[in-house]
Structures are given as structure tokens and as C-alpha cells.
Amino acid sequence: MRPFILIGAGLGAFVFNLTGKAQDAPLGLLCDLLTHPEQSLITDTKPDFGWIMNASRANEVQSAYQILVSSSPEKLAQDKGDWWDSGKVASAQSINVNYAGKPLQSSTTYWWKVRTWDKEGQPSAYSPPQRFNTGEFNRVKSWPGESRWVQIPDAAGKPMWTFEDRSPVNYHPFAPVKIATNSDRSTFIDFGCAAFAALNLTLTWEPRDPAVSNDIINIDVGEKNRGDAVEQKPGGGIIHARFQLALQPGTHSYPVPIPRFVPHFPESQSLPRQMREVIPFRYCQVWPGTEIVKVEGAQQLRLNIEFDDQASSFDSSSPALNQVYDLCKYSIKVNTFNGDYAGSERERMLYEADAYIQQMSHYAVDREYAIARYSVANMIYHATWPTEWIPHTIFMAYADYLQTGNAKFIAKYYDEVKPKTLLALAGPDGLISSRTGLQTPEFLKSIHFSHGQLRDIVDWPRGETDRFVFTNVNSVVNAFHYRALVLMGKIAAALNQPADVAFYRQHAEWVKAVFNEKFYDRRCGIYIDGIGTDHASFHANLFALAFGLVPSERRATVVKFIKSRGMACSVYPTVYLLEALYDAGEDRYALDLMTADTDRSWLNMIRAGSTVTTEAWDVKYKANEGWTHAWSTAPVQIIPRKLMGIEPLEPGFGKVLIEPRPGNLAKANVRYPTIRGPISVAFDRGNALDYFHLTVSIPANMTAEVALPLSGKSPGNVTCDGQPVPTRVESDHVFIDSIGSGTHTFSR
């Protein structure tokens, strides 16, 4: 046991001997869901441990494990777990193993490692060690789940700023992809991509007058260019900023002074003053005035959490879809600059819907869970104003459980998320309303809302609501209410609360029945906006379909109506729109939307010049839209989850479904990170789409159900690894059950 110090550790440092036993050593260690716990502080007195079983054979399952936790790396190297030696534990559990050793002490560093036994009882080598640091266990927090900025020593012993219980943010240096000198003697610098970043410049100044010893020049940064110049009037909320830099004669490196961010909203996030301020920019322009100033070098210091670019990938026969995926993936990385899901330069504030979309997209591109967990906890206690945003907290909490299999979070906050169903706003018929006087002080306190009254939003900005008619009782708000009830029932089941399970399930069925009675227009076969209007909007039907409120016999007319409206929504509901279309068998139309080239598309964001997903489809749809926003990253999660069909069948990915819905794609392959290890899926249908070959790679300690699309044809002979296999047909897919780990090829 010793005071914590920082040394290199983590998945990126693992090296495996492919000729010896070390190839089977566990990898991907997690401590309290942190991939780099050596760079954070853990305030849980009993953290959870997890790892990836690194098996070299197919169909491998862990039969046992042993964890050692030591007070020094020397003792751990001697296989001495002086703080905890679990002994050989007969179990397949490789995630969420709760610490059970001697009580951990505050402000202390520990080291741990693990080994596993395979299904034949053969042990692996021990994993490389991982270090974790404990924080103050008994600190009184201003709200449960609070995570402070704290200082710990870095690898060189210098103080570094980090967080409690979540991943730190670091400055990552990037060099320019272009430097050009203009006829006006200004120097234009392009860093290739925008990011929340600081800026360093190395400049040489030779004063025209040798007696002059100082000068001030202007530095422009921005997200948009006009030729070899920073666009000074980019429009909307697109960034352009001018800073002044004091020069000294000779060659010097200068940190460009960026003014501190000034919060304009109650919950806006700020960097500690000891860290350099950042602003989103891609371009820089140096204005030397009348002096001679040469740019010797430039550095964009991108601020974001540690991000494994190799954890995920996607490629297909559609160049447009590939561009959209890459845009969205990079956008997730960029928008972690604050160590949470606070979005946009204008606000730097967490919103429930924004955070949920970013959370699900983040899961799709990196094996990172702590930032999402912190963001959920934050939103539980800092609710924002739209009515529909409140149930998103339940969506986020359940998503955390589904991805991690760890029930600790939902157990801790169970009573706090219950009111987020908005049951207190329900009338005698079970439908809820924010306009009927039920927003009492007691209710608002129960959902931790302190900013007046909730207001229905439907979509944002208001011009994107497809002329939705707001009534006292509207269908969109009640669709969210229904979905929240369904998920609370699942959370209650996970926590073994049978009375609550029965209550939420029964209440959800009641709401579903009343919803279909009050909001369904039998004459037109679609859903209306609310009680007291006959207007049927895109959104009323979209959310009803997405959340499972539409009976099977009514889906055809609802889907037809949705398709007739095109992309009649903002970027925000696209995740629900695409989910609904894939689940309704409209995979080709969903693919068309993701690859569309209209002004309401992801390709339009690229065409406009942004390298990050934008806040709206275009400035003309939102006058103050920004160019760094993660709530428009729906495709990066929809592609692996729906197009490639990778979904957990049980929390924590012990069992998964792989059910591709390829639309008219000829080829595609994806790598998708999970807590148990990466899943890879690739299909090839030929240019004529007349056959279907599917290759899947499943991590050890995981099984899968695999489904091949029928595409209107009979199942025919289905083979797995060249051998015929038993199948079952459901809807438009043929299923093969109980596929073990390893790489398998299926053909039909």
C-alpha cells in the first residue's frame, strides 16, 4: 500500500506472445468500468473488476478465475495478493466481479491482475497488471454521483487534472495538414478536422525597426473557411474568434490565449482555471500586420477523453454510408472534451435527450462506460425543461445496465428514477399532461427540476415539429411516458422487485390501450397529435411506432404515412426514426435516409464543410446552429445495431443477436466493441444480391443467435462453417441458435 503515483498502464500497452501461453492472458481490464483507472480516482469502497477472456480456440467459455489485488507492483509480480486473493473461483463471470478483499483505504494506490481457466480447466497466464487509485471515500458530495476535478501525479510526477470515477480528458497534439501564405502576408493553417482545442504557434518575428521589442498581432480561428482564409462571418453559431498575441523578437513558441468560457446557463460546464481553455476550430489564420512574422510550426491541442480509434470500424459498398459513419464516429470523440456529454460551445450543458443519443453512439464506437454513467447520474439530479427529456433519464439508466450487465447503478438510483416516468402527471384515464395543473412543487422536486415548469417540445427547434398541434394531452409526450413505464418494468425485474414489475407492466398496458383509443384516427389509419385536434403529424406516428404502441395490424398505414413525409424532423428524432424503420422491416428506406444527399442529411453536413455532426440539418433550419454537436450521430449507432443487427439478448452481452438488415447493400463489415470484447460482422451478397454469405467473430464467454435475411426467398440450405445446420424461420429471417465464440461463416 502506498500513495498513488501514475505509471503507464492500459489496453494499449498490452503485448502478447502468440507462441506461448501469454496469448491466453486476459486483456481489456476494467476497474469500476474505467479502462484507465490509473488516471482517475475511484470513490467506491468496493469497485467492480472486469476483463476480456482472451481465448485462442473457438467455442471457449471461462470456467474459473482468480483475482489478485496488491499494495505494490513488486508483490503483484510475485503473485501475492496481500489485499485480496480471490483464490480459484469456479465461475464464468468475467464482468462486474465485486471487490471482496480487505477494506480499501482512501487516497491509496493498488495493483491488480487476473487469470482465467478455460472450459477444459486449463489456466491462462496472468493479465498484465493494472493500477487503480482510490479517492476520498467519506467525502460529503453536493449531489450523489458528483465527480470533482482533482489532481494526481502524472507519469513524470507532475500534477495532472482528472476526475473522480470517470475518464480524464487530455490534450492530444495534431499538426496541420496545410500551411499556406497568402498575398496579404497572412498565414492560413488547416488542421484537417475541427475539435475543441487549444492552439500553440511557433513564430519567428524579425522587427522592421530593431528598436522595437514587442508587438501584438491578430490570430483568427474558426470552423469554416473561404479558400485559404478563416471565414469571419460563418453564420449561425458556427465558430469564428479573433485573439491577440503578444510577440517577442526571434523564434518562440506561443500558447495562443483563449478567453475563459463564460457560462450562460445554470448547469453549464467549465474547465478548471488550471487547464488551458479550448474552443472548437479547424482553421487558423495569422495576421502579421506590417511586420515580418513567419509561422515555423503550429499545434492543435484537441481535448477529449482517451479514445481507442481501433475499437470500432465500418466499411461497406456504399461510399456515402462510409462517409456518414466516419463523420459520426469522429463527432463522438470530439464531444467528450469536458469528460461528460455536455454539448455545444454555446451551452456546454447536459440535456437528457442529447446525452442519451451520445451515450448510445459512444457505446457503438468505444469500450467506454464511465463517462455515460456519470452523465446519467448528473441528469438525474439536474433535470432540464422539456417534458419528453425527463423520461430519457430512464432510457439512459437502462442502457447502462443493458450494455454493462452491472445493476449497481440502477439499484443505487432506483427510487430517484421512478418519478421520471411522469406518473404524477397522469389523469384519470392514465394519460399524462404538463398542462393540467399537476406540476406541483412536490412533483418538480421529485424529478429534481428547479427551472419553472416543464414544457412539451416534440422536436427542436419548433420549426421542425411538422406543424404539430399542441393540446393539453398530446400523443408524443404520452408515447415517451409509455416507453418509460416499459423500461421501468425491466429495471424492476433486474432488481428483483416483483410488485413493481407487475405495477409497471399493468400500467403500461393500460396506457397503451388508452393511447390507441384516444389518438388513433381509424378513418386515416394513423395517429393524431393530441386530444382536441385531428391533425396527424410525422412525430405523432414516428414515436408511436418507435416505442411499440402500434399494433401489428395498424403498422402498414403508419409506416406508409411516415415514409410519405421524408425526413420531416430535425436531427434529434432520427435515432428513433431509423430504429422504427428497421424494426418495421423498412431497412432499404432507412438506408436511403442515411445516405440521402438532400439539405436534410448527414452528407449535407459534410458538403457544408463541417467535420463534426451539426446541431441542425442546416443554418436555415436553426438560426444559431453550431457545428460541434453529438445529438445528430444516430447513424453510428444504428449501423452496427440495426443494419448489421448486433443487439444484446441479455444485459452485459453474455448472449447476443446478430440479425443483419442490409437493405440494398452488397457488402459491409463492422467491428463493434462490447464489455466482453469486440464483435465483428461482415456480409457479402454479390453485386446481383443473389446469395448471402455472413462471417461473424464472437468473443470468448459469449454466445449468439445468428439470422440471415430471406429477402423474399425460401431459406434453402443454410451452412455454418461449411456444414448444414438446423434453422428456424421467423418473419423475414432464418435463425441459427447457440453459436459459440470464434469466427464462423454462414451461407444461404
Least confident of 149-158, 298-307, 463-472: 149-158
The CA distance from 728 to 734, in Å, is 6
The answer to whether 61 and 120 have CB atoms below 8 angstroms apart is: no
* pLDDT surpasses 60 at 575: yes
Q: Where in the chain is the domain with CATH 1.50.10.10?
A: 335-643
One of 3.30.1330.20, 2.30.30.40, 3.30.70.260, 2.60.40.10 is the CATH number of 11-167, namely: 2.60.40.10
SS (H, E, C) 627-654: CCCCCCCHHHHHHHHHHCCEEECCCCCC
- How big is the CA angle at 310 (ends 592 and 50), to the nearest 5 degrees? 110
Task: For residue 664, give every residue at least 6 positions away whose Cβ sits within 8 Å of its Cβ, in sequence order, or none.
Answer: 588, 591, 689
* pLDDT surpasses 50 at 729: yes
Mean pLDDT of 609-616: 98
| Cell (9 digits) for 399 | 442502457
- How big is the CA angle at 697 (ends 692 and 700), to the nearest 5 degrees? 150
Least confident of 7-21, 188-202, 596-610, 614-628: 7-21
The CA distance from 268 to 263, in Å, is 5
The CA distance from 142 to 654, in Å, is 37
The answer to whether 387 and 477 have CB atoms below 8 angstroms apart is: yes
Task: Say which residue the cell 438532400 belongs to.
Answer: 598
Mean pLDDT of 127-133: 97
The answer to whether 495 and 409 have CB atoms below 8 angstroms apart is: no
The answer to whether 201 and 188 have CB atoms below 8 angstroms apart is: no
Task: Say which residue the cell 528598436 belongs to.
Answer: 211
CA 667 from chain center: how many Å? 26
The answer to whether 659 and 679 have CB atoms below 8 angstroms apart is: no
DSSP codes, 397-445: HHHHHHHH---HHHHHTHHHHGGGG-GGGB-TTS-B-SSSS---HHHHH
Residue of 132, 135, 145, 116 whose CA lies nearest to 51: 116
Burial classification of residue 544, based on how many CB atoms lie within 10 Å of its CB (0-12 exposed, 13-18 middle, 19 or more buried)? buried
| Secondary structure letter of residue 38 according to DSSP | G
Residue 298, beta-bridge partner list? 201
The CA distance from 47 to 103, in Å, is 11
How far apart, in Å, are the Cα atoms of 25 and each of 127, 266, 316, 532, 680?
Answer: 5, 48, 33, 64, 21
Q: Which amino acid is at 415?
A: D
Q: What is the CATH number of domain 170-305?
A: 2.60.120.260
Q: What is the CATH number of domain 335-643?
A: 1.50.10.10
Instruction: State the pLDDT at residue 12.
Output: 37
Task: Say which residue the cell 388508452 belongs to.
Answer: 514
The CA distance from 137 to 66, in Å, is 26
Query: What is the percent of the chain with per-residue pLDDT over 90, rounded to a whole number?
Result: 90
In whole numbers, what is the pLDDT of the chain averaged over residues? 94
| Secondary structure letter of residue 339 according to DSSP | S
* pLDDT surpasses 70 at 17: no
| Secondary structure letter of residue 621 according to DSSP | G
Residue 455, beta-bridge partner list? 386
The answer to whether 34 and 130 have CB atoms below 8 angstroms apart is: no
The sign one gets for the Cα dihedral 339, 340, 343, 346 is negative
Mean pLDDT of 671-675: 98
Residue of 446, 444, 439, 441 whose CA lies nearest to 425: 439
Residue of 555, 568, 571, 573 whose CA lies nearest to 632: 571
Instruction: State the pLDDT at residue 71.
Output: 97
**Band of pLDDT at residue 429, cut at 50, 70 and 90:** very high
Least confident of 12-26, 228-242, 265-279: 12-26
The CA distance from 376 to 366, in Å, is 18
The CA distance from 650 to 507, in Å, is 24
* pLDDT surpasses 50 at 7: no
SS (H, E, C) 658-700: ECCCCCCCCEEEEEECCCCCCEEEEEECCCCCCCCEEEEEECC
H/E stretch holding 130 reads: strand 130-133
| Cell (9 digits) for 181 | 501564405
Residue of 571, 30, 29, 611 whose CA lies nearest to 332: 611
- The model's pLDDT over 317-373, given as tens digits with 9 standing for 90+, comes to 999 999 999 999 999 999 999 999 998 899 999 999 999 999 999 999 999 999 999
Residue 670, beta-bridge partner list? 314, 681
Least confident of 90-104, 609-623, 719-733: 719-733
| Cell (9 digits) for 150 | 482533482
Mean pLDDT of 709-737: 88
Task: Say which residue the cell 507492483 belongs to.
Answer: 73
One of 3.40.50.10490, 2.60.420.10, 1.10.10.60, 3.40.50.620 is the CATH number of 655-747, namely: 2.60.420.10
The CA distance from 187 to 297, in Å, is 11
Kindly report the number of other CB atoms within 10 A of residue 149's CB atom. Answer: 16
The answer to whether 708 and 694 have CB atoms below 8 angstroms apart is: yes
Q: Which amino acid is at 675?
A: I
Instruction: State the pLDDT at residue 655.
Output: 98
Q: Where in the chain is the domain with CATH 2.60.420.10?
A: 655-747
Instruction: State the pLDDT at residue 156.
Output: 80
- The model's pLDDT over 273-284, given as tens digits with 9 standing for 90+, comes to 889 999 999 999
The sign one gets for the Cα dihedral 130, 133, 137, 142 is negative
Q: Where in the chain is the domain with CATH 2.60.40.10?
A: 11-167
The model's pTM: 0.95
The answer to whether 466 and 540 have CB atoms below 8 angstroms apart is: no
Q: Where in the chain is the domain with CATH 2.60.120.260?
A: 170-305
Long-range pairs for 421-425 at CB < 8 Å and ≥24 separation? Answer: 421/391, 421/394, 421/481, 421/484, 421/485, 421/488, 421/504, 422/387, 422/390, 422/391, 422/447, 422/477, 422/480, 422/481, 422/484, 423/481, 423/485, 423/507
- Helices then strands, each counted (H, E), the chain: 16, 32
| Cell (9 digits) for 144 | 450523489
The CA distance from 179 to 189, in Å, is 5
| Secondary structure letter of residue 710 according to DSSP | -
Residue 240, beta-bridge partner list? 222
- The model's pLDDT over 378-409, given as tens digits with 9 standing for 90+, comes to 999 999 999 999 999 999 999 999 999 999 99
The CA distance from 413 to 398, in Å, is 11
Residue of 641, 628, 633 whose CA lies nearest to 574: 633
**Band of pLDDT at residue 23, cut at 50, 70 and 90:** low
* pLDDT surpasses 60 at 677: yes
Instruction: State the pLDDT at residue 4.
Output: 38
Kindly report the number of other CB atoms within 10 A of residue 229's CB atom. Answer: 16
Give all strands of the β-sheet with 27-31 in edge-to-edge order: 27-31, 48-52, 97-98
